[in-house]
Structure 1
């Protein structure tokens, strides 16, 4: 395997010159730069990225930790983060924590060893101390873990309010809300707070059901909704805290012989692409996933450059009405 010394020898320049070309430091003529690059290509030279990172104290790598890469929201988020980071000259390391605190800790240690320039935390575990003690720039998504670390969230309260009011306006008399486990203390819990406030304001009979701590375990969704319809066959409105849960509700309505939207009206949250793949197409609260991903990268870069940044970043949501209401 070729080394930097081999490149310098064949290109007839110093090792320092090759290093400057690799790290874009100091004045290098275009002719010399072209000669070094041509030589690296001839030798199939692969720069040692870790060594380069140590030299310039920057890896051009951003870590993204998500609880479940198979969940449509987080897979779409990862796609937008990677694309935008790449446009700015950064690579992305994707870590799938599966809500396992030990696995998440291992990933944090790996990211530290690789000297990533920053970490975007999309995880939903109860453990936050590992993040508070990091020296790298951090951005959290849908979770506030300290007053100094910037976070990004859709306007969850407004989203819950929009969903609840639409079901009330449509004439629903008994409305269920399926949410994540509120013990996780995520900003998404505000969707539930808004739903409860609207129901109480209008005197609507309502039911709130939480998932277990593994909020992304899709096996439980079917069981929860099946039991809900058995215990409350007169449910005529349902607001789910994600489009995936709402999609399971559509499936369970079909199994129970309930017509949508005549018998049951359903609203999801996120507006992932899959919301339009099901039949009937899903009414949902849209949070702009692309904007969240772009802002997360921008906040990392601003911290790296010691530029001013907002700690609290609340993104507006909108109601997208489709066939389920």
Structure 2
């Protein structure tokens, strides 16, 4: 049977109320008493009922995080920073992987609410605006703008698109491809495409746009997408990939076809993620650490009843390396 606070009280020789005060750090308690209680809990392997405690103090010190795919390095790294800053401020993290599935995302939101989380950081967006505004919890969106009334933290996607495209134009590329996720999705990353089109339009340069389907992060599909690009447009000499993962696939396909990078094809990625193969990749770096820090900071300020900015756009940085 599970050990209860009544068992601890009997062992220490105090009331249940006293044990509860030790657990919740309420009122004056001598250091000697607190030491005896904690020693008894450790000896008897007592596990506090966190849900019951959160209900009693109306705060769980747990925040929820919903992202599209933890296997994607960008979301993996930003999750790492969010967890770090949440823990630093005394909060634990409940991580939910939506895989861009509307039903799954809805179920995770219901789970987080039932688990009495203090707030949610939302990095996924598959439902209607009304469904998000009805959550009735402190909410911050990350890299997604669901509604003008919900605080959003992102990097400057449009400026990033300008930087990447101008780099390829400056390198005298004559035919440039833009590769991205599906442009029908309502994502801030679409601004990278908009910037690309604005930069190449009206210039003496050919360009082509290729996008994935609507089913999220399928890395095998990236391989097919890049292969089709070079089959349909063998004269491509510049590629702006909207993620470093896509950019690495371009480099891999170039090697397979005997095209030297950057001599025959120049490649620029996006995100600035830290995984194998990106050391020499020219890319637009998102401030992932700062995005994670602000997501936690603004959510905790909301939990405390404070006002926060509705839109925060952080600057990006062009890192020119060996692939251009």
Q: Give the TM-score normalised by the residue count of structure 1.
A: 0.95
Partners of 1:279 and 1:40 in 2: how far apart?
49
Partners of 2:58 and 2:312 in 1: how far apart?
28
- Report what 1:167 is aligned to: 168
- Report what 1:24 is aligned to: 25
What is the deviation of 1:180? 1.5
- Report what 2:140 is aligned to: 139
Is this contact kept in 2: 1:124–1:184, CA < 8 A? no
- Report what 1:236 is aligned to: 237
- In 2 relative to 1, CA 55–284 (structure 1 residues): closer, same or farther, beyond 3 Å? same
Partners of 1:294 and 1:42 in 2: how far apart?
38
More deviation, 253-262/122-131: 122-131
- In 2 relative to 1, CA 256–181 (structure 1 residues): closer, same or farther, beyond 3 Å? same
- Report what 1:7 is aligned to: 8
Partners of 1:279 and 1:65 in 2: how far apart?
26
Correspondence 1:1-325 to 2 at 5 A: 1-274=2-275, 277-278=276-277, 281-325=280-324
What is the deviation of 1:122? 0.9
Partners of 1:279 and 1:112 in 2: how far apart?
39
Consecutive aligned runs of 4 or more in structure 1 exceeding 6 Å deviation: none
What is the deviation of 1:288? 1.4
Structure 1 unaligned spans of 5+: none
What is the deviation of 1:56? 0.8
Partners of 1:280 and 1:263 in 2: how far apart?
20
Per-residue CA deviations over 1:214-254 (Å, capped at 9, x if unaligned) read: 23111111111111111111111000110001111011111
Partners of 1:262 and 1:37 in 2: how far apart?
66
- In 2 relative to 1, CA 131–25 (structure 1 residues): closer, same or farther, beyond 3 Å? farther
Partners of 2:155 and 2:102 in 1: how far apart?
25
Structure 2 unaligned spans of 5+: none
Partners of 1:68 and 1:312 in 2: how far apart?
24
Partners of 1:46 and 1:210 in 2: how far apart?
50
Partners of 1:241 and 1:126 in 2: how far apart?
24
Partners of 1:17 and 1:59 in 2: how far apart?
21
What is the deviation of 1:124? 3.9
Per-residue CA deviations over 1:4-57 (Å, capped at 9, x if unaligned) read: 111122222222222122122233232322222122112211100000010111
Partners of 2:164 and 2:26 in 1: how far apart?
54
Partners of 2:295 and 2:189 in 1: how far apart?
17
Q: Give the TM-score normalised by the residue count of structure 2.
A: 0.96
Per-residue CA deviations over 1:89-122 (Å, capped at 9, x if unaligned) read: 1111111111111111111111111111111111
Is this contact kept in 1: 2:271–2:285, CA < 8 A? yes
- In 2 relative to 1, CA 112–126 (structure 1 residues): closer, same or farther, beyond 3 Å? closer
